Chains A and B, each alone.
Chain A
Amino acid sequence: MSGLTATIVVERPAFTLELELEVAAGEIVAILGPNGSGKTTTLRTLAGLVRMTEGSIRLGDKTLDDTATDVHVETRSRDIGVVFQDYLLFPHLSAAENIAFGPIAHGTPAPRALVAAREWLARFDLADFADVRPRQLSGGQAQRVALARALILEPPLLLLDEPLAALDVGTRASVRRALKEVLGAYGGSTVLVTHDPADALALADQMVVLEAGTVAQRGAPADVAASPANEYVAGLFAD
């Protein structure tokens, strides 16, 4: 089968993260929770940047992690697209060079990678920004460059870490709409981490609410918003 199946246990000094995730291809799952609830640890574990204490991660027919058989695929070989918080574009490279970085790392000759990068820029209405450094991009533009950088490798799994947190309130709604369109066209599984219920409601098919490392509630975002399981979940939707 395609899609992501993960059982994650990560012991941290402050809490233990315990989470099961199933994300079908084409599906978007939002992990919602305040700072310190284990959202970012979840993403870093899926990306292979954190080794988990126990559990397994399978993507399609590939096993990325399995503590029982001591399998751990290095981050660089996982084929997972990541859009980091603050986007983490390489500041010394142009927008096109940022997007071409992945294909070049995978052995595509630089000129061909740059042509492909420009195609992605054109698709995202950024054709004029190919030679611009990240510093000169607006938040929404930087996000699209970061999305293009991740998606150009056609990963079966896309991870988004607080994709809208770096934006000011005025632009957030329009960037969220643009993001929804991009994610709608993407055929793989998406895991999105956010502290803002509005993001989850607008973008996700399924929602997982984390409280200090454990699942407080899961379900369709609208259902969770309509009938929160406890005061903690209700509090997240309060404003």
Chain B
Amino acid sequence: MRAFSRTRSPDARGTGIPGLLWIPAGIALAFLVLPLVALIAQVPWAQFGQVVESSGVGQSLGLSLGAGAAATGLSVLLGVPLAWVLARSVEWNPVLRRLLRAFVTVPLVLPPVVGGIALVLLLGRTGLVGSFLRIWFGIQIPFTTPAVVISETFVAMPFLVLSVEGALRGADRRLEDAAETLGASRWMIFRRITLPLIAPGVAAGAVLSFARALGEFGATITFAGDFPGVTRTMPIAAYIALESDPGSAYVIAIILLAVAIAVLFALRDRWVGGLTS
């Protein structure tokens, strides 16, 4: 038995990597890491507090966090039911399910600017729905904070839907049968059994959605524009500041990097841990 367990130890087995592969592997790693090193090295740490407190950056940070939270909330509220339909539609119509799944996945692979243009054409002043909103209710969505939330939700919701769908398909449906034999209504089964069982998947999806919403640039600048205090989120502020005030652009960038690392940390068991176990 001892001899067999030896193969599990990487020391005894050796890495098995041909020497030549070390070079491109090293370049690849440097390619991913060095830009971040450059960013951290160049941040004007001495002015950090001052930059964050300056009204522009503070405003952008607040707007980003607020809009990101709203987009995440909207994604959970609408995305969980959609994930439900997606996970359970397998049984009654595989064609419908494939179609639904394609619609949900499109925003994941679509260039965000295209998403922004599409939103303009739907909700813009002369858009498919926007023109009616303007004429009937006097509502204009483009270039407002709600436009930011809508753009972010468009790009972020698929992450939540796919995460929750996976959790739903992993959940043991026989537990729902058990609850039903005990007299539970569908709503009670959903609230007391299924929802708690998929809670980790909902949480992971929400964290991913929030990260995606926070980084959103293309769809937001296309549909919501760049208005300080109204639609100028952190990524947009960083891009704008790069010309006039590089120092504050670096500070914003490092804050966004910190958030990304925090997200990775929050999901460590699910992703980073999952790769090793």
- Tell me if chain B binds chain A: yes
**Neighbouring A residues of B196 by C-beta, 8 Å:** 92
Residue A106 interfacial (CB < 8 Å): yes
A82 in complex: contacting residue of B181, B185, B188, B193, CB < 8 Å: B181
Contact between B177 and A76 (Cβ–Cβ < 8 Å)?
Answer: no
A88 in complex: contacting residue of B175, B183, B185, B197, CB < 8 Å: B175
Interface residues on B, range: 10 to 19
A75 in complex: contacting residue of B172, B175, B180, B193, CB < 8 Å: B180
- The prevalent SS among residues of B at the interface is helix
Residue B178 interfacial (CB < 8 Å): yes
Contact between A153 and B178 (Cβ–Cβ < 8 Å)?
Answer: no
CB distance from A86 to the nearest CB of B (A): 8
**Neighbouring B residues of A101 by C-beta, 8 Å:** 179, 182, 184, 192
**Neighbouring B residues of A77 by C-beta, 8 Å:** 183
Contact between A102 and B193 (Cβ–Cβ < 8 Å)?
Answer: no
Q: Which residue of chain A lies nearest to B199 when distances are taken between CB atoms in the complex?
A: A92
Residue B174 interfacial (CB < 8 Å): yes
A102 in complex: contacting residue of B172, B177, B182, B197, CB < 8 Å: B182
Contact A90 B183, CB 8 Å, known A84-B174, A101-B192, A105-B188: no
In the complex the two chains form, what is the Cα distance from A47 to B178 in whole Å?
10
Q: Which residue of chain B lies nearest to A78 when distances are taken between CB atoms in the complex?
A: B181
Residue A81 interfacial (CB < 8 Å): yes
In the complex the two chains form, what is the Cα distance from A76 to B181 in whole Å?
5
Contact between B183 and A102 (Cβ–Cβ < 8 Å)?
Answer: yes
Residue A149 interfacial (CB < 8 Å): yes
**Neighbouring A residues of B178 by C-beta, 8 Å:** 82, 84, 88, 90
Query: Of residues B180, B185, B188, B197, which shows the largest number of chain A Cβ atoms within 10 Å of its Cβ?
Result: B180
CB distance from A191 to the nearest CB of B (A): 13
Contact A75 B197, CB 8 Å, known A84-B174, A90-B175: no
What are 26 sample pairs from A and B whose C-beta atoms fall under 8 A apart?
A47-B177, A49-B177, A49-B180, A75-B177, A75-B180, A76-B181, A76-B185, A77-B183, A78-B181, A79-B183, A80-B181, A81-B181, A82-B178, A84-B177, A84-B178, A88-B174, A88-B177, A88-B178, A90-B193, A101-B184, A102-B182, A105-B183, A105-B184, A105-B188, A106-B183, A150-B182
**Neighbouring B residues of A84 by C-beta, 8 Å:** 174, 177-178
* Residues on A facing B (Cβ under 8 Å): 47, 49, 75-82, 84, 88, 90-92, 101-102, 105-106, 149-150, 153
In the complex the two chains form, what is the Cα distance from A92 to B175 in whole Å?
11
Contact between A88 and B188 (Cβ–Cβ < 8 Å)?
Answer: no
**Neighbouring B residues of A153 by C-beta, 8 Å:** 182-183
In the complex the two chains form, what is the Cα distance from A78 to B181 in whole Å?
8
Contact between A88 and B184 (Cβ–Cβ < 8 Å)?
Answer: no
Besides A90-B179, A102-B182, A153-B182, 10 new A-B residue pairs in contact (Cβ under 8 A), listed by A number: A47-B181, A75-B180, A76-B183, A76-B185, A88-B177, A90-B193, A101-B192, A105-B183, A149-B182, A150-B181
CB distance from B205 to the nearest CB of A (A): 18
**Neighbouring A residues of B182 by C-beta, 8 Å:** 76, 101-102, 105, 149-150, 153
**Neighbouring B residues of A88 by C-beta, 8 Å:** 172, 174-175, 177-178
**Neighbouring B residues of A78 by C-beta, 8 Å:** 181
CB distance from A153 to the nearest CB of B (A): 7
**Neighbouring B residues of A106 by C-beta, 8 Å:** 183
Q: Which residue of chain B lies nearest to A106 when distances are taken between CB atoms in the complex?
A: B183
CB distance from B92 to the nearest CB of A (A): 15
In the complex the two chains form, what is the Cα distance from A105 to B179 in whole Å?
9
Contact between B181 and A75 (Cβ–Cβ < 8 Å)?
Answer: yes
**Neighbouring A residues of B180 by C-beta, 8 Å:** 49, 75-76
